[in-house]
Every structure is written in structure tokens, then in C-alpha cells.
Amino acid sequence: YIRMEQCYLMLIIRNASGQIEGPFNTEKVLYKIGRGEFSGEEMIAHYPGGKWIPISQDPQFYDKLLEVLSDDPNVEASEDTAVLEFTRPEGYTGPKPNAGDTSPSEAVTDPGVRTPPLEEKSSPSKKKKKRSRRPEDIELVDMRPALMKAIIKRARWPLLVTVAAIAVAAILLATSGPKEERLRLVAPQKNQPQVGLESLKPRIRSGVGEFLKDTLGGYLKAQNEFIFVVERNQKNAEVMALLCMTYLQLWPYTYQDYTDSRVVSKVVQMALQVDPGGIHSAACRVVDLAVRGPSREQEAKSLVESVLDTWSREGQPPIMFYFLKGHLLENSGEHATAIGYLQSAQKLWPQWILPFVVEAQALTKLERYNEAGNIYRNILRSNPAHTVARIELGILEYKYFNRNEQGERYLNQALENTDAPRIVLSRGYLGLAEIALKRQDNSKALNFAQRAYSLSASNNQAKNLIVQLGGLGKVPKGRGWLEVFEGDQAFREGDYHKAQEHYKQAFAADRNALAALKAAQCLWRMSLSTEAIQWLNEAIKADPKMIEAYVTMADYQAQRYDFLAASRVLERARKENPKSHEVYRGFALVELRRNNSKGALTYGKQALQLYENDVETLIVMAEASLAIRDFKMAYNYASKAVEMDVNHRKAQVAYAEAIAGLQGVDAGADYLLKLVNSYSSITEYRLALGKMLLADERFQQAEEIFRQVIKLEEKPKDAYVELAKVLKAQGNNDEALDLLLKAAVLDPADAEPLFLAGSILIDMKEAQKAMLQFNRVITINKLYPLVHYQLGRAAMLLGDPKSALDYTAEEKKANPNLADAYLLAAEAHTVMGQYSACAGEYQKAIKLRPQQAMIYVKLAQCYRKSGNTDAATSMLNVASKKEDGLADIYKEYGAIYELKGDVNHAIESYNQYFVLDPDAPDREQIEERINALQSGKTP
């Protein structure tokens, strides 16, 4: 557990009989312990929603409990209660803040500085004092034995109670095991009294000084200071950015679950409210994307690049973003490129230790060991308490400089603490294992290797050493957070199968809802949609308040056209959190996918009322406005989204489409072309440009764009599909079919390529082949819209109107709001001579497409053939009001007049039909009828 100087969360207490008191703040709990109101047997939890733990296991209250339970209130804690301290070199009296009063805006730029400033060394003659325990220390020993002794020693209770207390303590001791030293991120609280910035400057300077040290303890103190400032001055976006950067460094030590990620999201929202589209809110957004896992890292990289492009030309270079760029490049294995950005950050803010650490790690991977070692030595001169630098230098000393004793000394000193990321600690223990193995101390080597593997299951060297020394049975089983870490690594490498296995194991270990969500995201990318939705259900069961899981499930179901299920999931989410903007955004997205743009706009407005700067909601609103051709409103929403996140690809595409709607296709295409030229590797902009040109029937230009995308992408499924549409429009059906089948192979769970292939085959009158493709679509997704309708079309081509009616019935069940099935059913009834039924189907179609004049013409035809010429004429009158230039109206008028024996009007109507459609396919037959009418013969 992590002990912090200040606690911003309230606490509740549950006594042995189950009664709950509180909520109290930390000081109130300590006061009650001092008065003897709490004995040490109580359970404590953060309010609201925290997990219950014994109060005796919380380091904040442990000392006070010992003091109260001891005979001598001033007695010192026994050795059992001691915590391990940071290693300090001989004569070192403690690190001083590194330019603690220097904020980023006040930092002096010195391009010549390449190492952190050195601390002043204390005189060797001074005695080394044992320091008091600090809030950042991680408890590494079991506190319960000392507490049990103190309870027994102090006990003046009846014998039965004393025995019970001993039994409880014995159970605690018996169940003790390796503990996971993890912490929770702390979020700023609202409704704090606001004060002026001047009075908060000492806290800012203190927080920056702690941040610069790049140690766990420093980051915990920085978090407290920055939260204090943000709570009391909620307009300071720069401090919010520093708080977000602090969260990024604390993230490896947290539970890394939904609770922690929501803390980051909360500060992101605060930053966006005071700094929309600014550099400070952008820093928070990058951190938010980074902590969400490797699935969002590409977005983080894009945002960083965008900020660097925009702000590097300004007077204040974006220091944080040079580091973030280097950090992300280092994570993706681009070590040499990362170093350049890290050095830029160092020159701009030489007091900040972290960029030096990351550079040294990159140099090590590039096998530039001497340079890395020099940087680590300079870091330790600046801050001897820097555990990461000590571990990394120890590894270099024994492994590459052949100084085993010196390396072992560094590692032993460093590993007395756990204030380093697990993967670094794992490497350190592996180093000790290898050193022990060289001395042929196999027992110690095995022990160190097991500890290394327990900290990082990706440490295959440690695993191999364990197997070598003790066999497979000695390999420790991974814990939940380790499995999440390994899953993230596999996801980053694109190995979704391996990643989902790790996430599932993590969920099995501690029911981590975020692990279940990540497993679902992997499964979805693997085209295992049903299993993905099952794992989202597991995430919701594990944490019913995890709104992201509900929204993700609704999105997946909507993409599978199961809109009813999607709406039900979101209703469940709304009951859990009726004021969540994410839930209303989810409703908006579902309605947009089901082509209900007005409904999407209604829900989107509700989402924006709750969080007006949500970029994702703004994009949904822009797309819904485009769908109803409200280009001005689409422009307003899209432009705001671009202002908030200039590098958001969907926002930029929506903005370009809005420009095209307002100013013409050329203007929209020019905007996209500029994006293509600026970001040549981002294929989304090329795809959007190609789609815009295709919609404007500029087939040759669109074809060129899509072929460019195919060359650029490794798996260009979308480009194959769009190019197939272009080729079909140009009459090149054979190549179009070939491309669609290639797309289907790339993503077997996507039914669209097969559906389009079947549609082309229908147009080619190859009904049997078309039915084969449509049946494959049903196998993938039986809810895919219009697939049964297309099967009905194929049946009609095969001369089987009865089967066509069966297919249309299935389509109506799946998609009752699509008119196509009713239209096809009407055609089938017409072929079967069932004209009343035909009229009924057309009437239903009219309710869904009231503006389409041709449906009224066909309904008139059914009425005419059933003998109801008055109703037929009435329908034609409606059709002519909607589209007076539709040639078929006059052909049907001619047939009605002919049936009534009105020869002159019949001939006149037929001639008008030819005027409107000179190349009518049935012109020859109609001319024969006109001749027959003129000769007085029955045609």
C-alpha cells in the first residue's frame, strides 16, 4: 500500500458487528483511534465504492494503532514494523529539490547542457541519520505480527474476546502472501474554495520540484501539490497538464483499471473546459490515450505530431511534447529517432531527469553502453535516490563493463526499494540471478530469477533460467496486473490472439473489468464478434459502473445491425449513470448507424449538455447533420471538433464533407488533398478523398486514389471495396468481383464485400452464384440488411416468385423499416397475378418512402389490373404532383384510358411517354398498341 501525505477521499468504517460509520476524513479516523473508539479489528474503505480492507493494513493508521495498543505510548516500533528505506550513498544527507522553484515557463534554455544539474554533496564527516518514514515509501514487510503482539499485550477484554482477536490475527498471518504494491490515482475534488494563483505559487513550485526528480515518491508528492492547486484554482490549465504528466509516470504503479483511467479522464475534461484546443489540454488528452492501452497509442502519436507541427513554430516550444514524442517512439522501437526528441526536451528543461533516463534506455538498446552509463552516473549524482538509474547502471556494470561486484552493489542497493516500474525491477533481479549463477550459487540464482519472472512474465531469460535450475514446476504463475502488461505488449505488436489470452488470464486472476474489455477489443479485431460481446458482458458483471464497456458493446451490436440489443445495453448503462455523456453519445451513434439521423442529433445534444467539449460526440453530430444535408450545422460541429483536436481523422473528414456541401465538391476535395499531402502516410484521408470523388461520379480520379491506398496499406480491405464500386460503375464487373473476394479474405467477419459481390452477380443475371454469396453473408450475420431481399431478387430471376415472397418475409422481420422488401413482394404478387396483395405491399412501401413517385405508379398498375381504375388514376395524380417528368406515369395513364375505351387520351398519353423517354425499352410494343388503337383494332 502507498501512504500519502494528504488524503482527498473520505473513508467509511465497518466494525466487527457489521455497523458502518462515516464518512470521515483521515484526521477524524486518527482522532477516533487515539480516543480508543477503534481497536484495530475494523474494516475501512474509500467512500464511495472502495474495497474493504482491515484498518490495520493501512499504513496511515497502523502507527496510531500501535501507539494506542502499546503499554507505553512512546514506545518505538519493533524491527518487525520497519519499512525499507531508499538507498543512500555514504555521507548523503538527502536530495534537495532540483530547481524546485522553476516551472516550465520559467526554465532557462541552455542548448549546451546535456546532463541534469548536480546536487551539492554533503560533508563526509556528517553523521548519517535514519530518516523518518516518508509517504512515498512502499510497505515491504508484513505489519500484522507486530500488531498482533501489541493487541495481545494491551488486551484487557474478556477472555472470549481476546481469544477471538488472536484467532483473527492468526488467520491473517496464515493467509499472508506476496503483496502487490499498487496505488490509486487521486482525482481533484469539486466544490473547494477558490483562491488566487499568487497564493498557490509555493505549492506549484514544490510540485514541479518533486516532479523533476523522477522518483515514485516525488511523483506522489507532485500529485498532491498539483491536485491542491487544481482544486483551488480550476482555471489553471498548465498545472492540469503537469498533473496529467504526473499520472502518466504513476500509471505503472497503479491497478491500471477503469477506476484509475477515469481519474485521468476527469482531469482531461477539466482541462478541455478551460483550454479547449490548447496545448495544455492536448497534453492531458495524449496521456489519456496513452494510459488506455496500445489500441489508442496511434491516436496519441498523431496528436503529439499535430501539436509539434503547430507549436514548434511558436515562441514557446512544446517541451512536454518533445518528451512525449520521444517516449512514444521509444515504446515502438524507434530508438535512434526517439533520442533526438528527448534531447530537445533536455535542452529546453535541463532540470527534468526523466528525458535523460529514457534516452539512456534507448542508447542501451542501440548498444551504445558507454554513453548510457555516463548518463546514469550523472543522474545518480543529481539524485542518488533514483532507483531506475541505479538498476540500469548496475546491469550495464556487470553485463557489459565486466564489473560484477560494482554491478551487484548497485543492484542490491536499488532493489531494497520497489519504487521502479515492474519491468525495470524484473531486469534488476535477473541481473542478480545471473551474477549468482556465475558464482555457482544456484539456490540464490533461482530465487532471484523467480522474483524477476514474478514481476514480468515477458522476461523469457528469467523463465529459461528458472527451468534450467529448477524445472517448469518452479516457474511462478502470473498475477493479474502482470497479465495485463503482457497483453498490452502483445497488442502493441499486433498479436491479438496472444494479447487476448493474457487479458483473459488477468481477468481470471482478479476479475479486472478493464482486462475483460481489452480482451473483447482483441476478439473484435480478430473477427470473433460473438465472443467479443460475451467478454464485454463479463466486464460489466465485474464492474457494473464501467460505462465504457456498455458503450463499446452497443457499438459492436450496432455494427452487426442488432439495434434493439444495442439500445437495451445503453438503457442498462443509463440506469447505472443517468448523467453520463458517454451513454447519450452511445445512443446517438446507434441511431446514426440505423439511419435515424434526427434521433442521433437528439441524443447528441443531450450528450453535449453534459460535456460540451467531447470530440467524439461532436463528430457524431457532424455526421448526422451531413446525413440530413444540413451542411451549415455539420460545418459548425465539425469545425469545433477540429478545433478541439486538429489531428482527429474522422473530425477532419467530416469537416471536409461539410465544406463540400457548402462550397462544392471541389472545395472539399481540395481540403482533403492538402491533408493527403501533409500526412502522406495516413490513408484515411486518401480514402475519404476517393469516396468524395466517387460520390460525384468522378470515377477515373477516384480509381487512381484507391489504387494508391492499395499500394500503401498492408491490408487494404476498405480500398478494395471502394475500388470495386468504382469498377462496377464503369462496367468492369470481373475485376470488381475479384477485389471484393480479396477483401472478404482479409476480414472474414465483414459481410459487406460478399454482399456487394452478390449484388454484382445479380446485375449480371447470375442468380445461382449470387445466392451462394448471399448465403455466406447470412452465415456471417443474419441481420445484415437487405440480404434476404437480394436472395428474393435472385429467386425472381430463377422464376420462383413463391420463394421470393418467403425471402421478403424474412427481410421484413429483420428490417421492417426498409421499403425494398415490400417492393419486391409486390413484384412477386404481380407475377403470380395476386393484384390485391400487390397493392397492399405497395401501400406499405409508400409509408416508408412517401416521396418516391415510381411506387405510386406501380401501385396504380396493381389497381388497374385488379379492375379499380379510379384508384389507379388517383395514384397517378399523386405521382405526377411529386415528379411530373416521370415517363412511366404517362404510360400507365395510357393503359388506363385504353382500358376505359378512351382512345384519344390513350394515344396522347402514350405519345407523351415517348417525349419524356425517347429511348424507352418497350417503345416498339407501345407503338404497336398505338397503331392498333388508331385502326380501331384491339391490340
- CB-based contact 703:723 (threshold 8 Å): yes
Joined grid coordinates for residue 252: 505503472
- CB-based contact 483:509 (threshold 8 Å): yes
pTM value surpassing 0.85? no
Strongest mean pLDDT among 31-40, 56-65, 501-510, 653-662: 653-662
Burial 218-234 (b: 16+ CB within 10 A, else e): bbbbbbbbbbbbbbbbb
Q: Which residue intervals of 493-596 are DSSP H helices?
A: 496-510, 513-525, 529-542, 547-559, 563-576, 581-593
Pick 40 or 790 by higher pLDDT: 790
CA distance 699 to 690: 9
Q: What is the pLDDT of residues 172-183, one digit of tens each?
A: 333 333 344 678
Q: What is the pLDDT of residues 820-876, one digit of tens each?
A: 999 999 999 999 999 999 999 999 999 998 889 999 999 999 999 999 999 999 999
2: β partners: 138
Amino acid 662: pLDDT: 95
pLDDT of residue 664 exceeding 60, the answer is yes
Alpha carbon 886 to chain centroid distance?
50
Q: How many CB atoms lie within 10 A of CB 884?
A: 11
Q: What integer is the mean pLDDT of 736-751?
A: 92
Strongest mean pLDDT among 59-73, 289-303, 536-550: 536-550
Judged by DSSP in three states, 501 sits in helix
Amino acid 2: pLDDT: 30
Q: Which residues contact 144 (CB under 8 A, 6 or more apart)?
A: 56, 57, 169, 172, 173, 176
- CB-based contact 448:432 (threshold 8 Å): yes
Work out the angle at residue 565's Cα, subtended by the Cα atoms of residues 295 and 592, and round it to the nearest 5 degrees: 65
Amino acid 634: pLDDT: 96
Q: Backbone dihedral region of 22: left (phi > 0), alpha (psi from -120 to 50 degrees) or beta?
A: left
Backbone dihedral angles phi then psi of residue 707, each to the nearest 5 degrees: -70, -30
pLDDT of residue 103 exceeding 60, the answer is no
**How far does the chain reach from its first CA to its final CA, in angstroms?**
96
- CB-based contact 872:903 (threshold 8 Å): no
Strongest mean pLDDT among 73-87, 301-315, 471-485, 620-634: 620-634
pLDDT of residue 8 exceeding 80, the answer is no
Assess whether the previous peptide bond of 48 is cis (omega < 30° from 0): yes
Q: Which residues contact 810 (CB under 8 A, 6 or more apart)?
A: 788
Amino acid 104: pLDDT: 33
Q: What is the pLDDT of residues 764-805, one digit of tens each?
A: 999 999 999 999 999 998 889 999 999 999 999 999 999 999
485: β partners: none
Residue type, 322: Y
CA distance 624 to 644: 19
- CB-based contact 354:391 (threshold 8 Å): no
Least confident among 279-288, 481-490, 874-883 = 481-490
Q: Backbone dihedral region of 12: left (phi > 0), alpha (psi from -120 to 50 degrees) or beta?
A: beta
Confidence of residue 147 (pLDDT cuts 50, 70, 90): very low
24: β partners: 11
Q: Which residues contact 414 (CB under 8 A, 6 or more apart)?
A: 87, 387, 390, 391, 394, 420, 428
- CB-based contact 97:385 (threshold 8 Å): no
Judged by DSSP in three states, 26 sits in helix
Least confident among 43-52, 303-312, 545-554 = 43-52
CA distance 245 to 214: 11
CA distance 542 to 512: 7
pLDDT of residue 237 exceeding 60, the answer is yes
H or E element in which residue 614 lies:
none
| Per-residue CA distances from 736 to 43, 723, 756 (Å) | 67, 7, 9
CA distance 318 to 658: 31
Q: What integer is the mean pLDDT of 319-328?
A: 92
Pick 763 or 647 by higher pLDDT: 763
Q: Which residue intervals of 664-732 are DSSP H helices?
A: 665-678, 683-695, 699-712, 717-729
Which of 841, 791, 790, 796 lies closest to 819 in space, CA to CA? Answer: 841
Amino acid 681: pLDDT: 79
CA distance 476 to 452: 10
Least confident among 84-88, 119-123, 489-493, 750-754 = 84-88
- CB-based contact 545:523 (threshold 8 Å): no
Pairing of strands 20-24, 43-47: unpaired
CA distance 620 to 648: 13
| Per-residue CA distances from 678 to 204, 337, 644 (Å) | 39, 20, 19
Q: What integer is the mean pLDDT of 323-327?
A: 93
Amino acid 527: pLDDT: 82
Confidence of residue 457 (pLDDT cuts 50, 70, 90): confident
Backbone dihedral angles phi then psi of residue 20, each to the nearest 5 degrees: -110, 135
pLDDT of residue 88 exceeding 60, the answer is no
The pLDDT mean for the chain works out to 82
CA distance 390 to 407: 9
Residue type, 227: I
Q: Backbone dihedral region of 184: left (phi > 0), alpha (psi from -120 to 50 degrees) or beta?
A: beta
Q: DSSP string covering 159-227, please?
A: HHHHHHHHHHHHHHHHT-------B---PPPSSPPP--HHHHHHHHHHHHHHHHH-SHHHHHHHHHHHH
Query: Looking at residue 138, what DSSP letter applies?
Result: B
Query: Looking at residue 254, what DSSP letter applies?
Result: B
| Per-residue CA distances from 179 to 2, 61, 138, 454, 466 (Å) | 12, 18, 11, 12, 21
Confidence of residue 682 (pLDDT cuts 50, 70, 90): confident
pLDDT of residue 394 exceeding 80, the answer is yes
pLDDT of residue 512 exceeding 60, the answer is yes
pLDDT of residue 593 exceeding 70, the answer is yes
Q: Backbone dihedral region of 194: left (phi > 0), alpha (psi from -120 to 50 degrees) or beta?
A: beta
SS3 sequence of 356-397: HHHHHHHHHHCCCHHHHHHHHHHHHHHCCCCHHHHHHHHHHH
Q: What integer is the mean pLDDT of 533-556?
A: 93
Q: What integer is the mean pLDDT of 474-489?
A: 75
Q: Which residues contact 738 (CB under 8 A, 6 or more apart)?
A: none
pLDDT of residue 669 exceeding 80, the answer is yes
Sequence-ordered strand ranges (E) for 236-386: none
Q: Helices 442-455 and 422-438 meet at what angle, rounded to 10?
A: 170
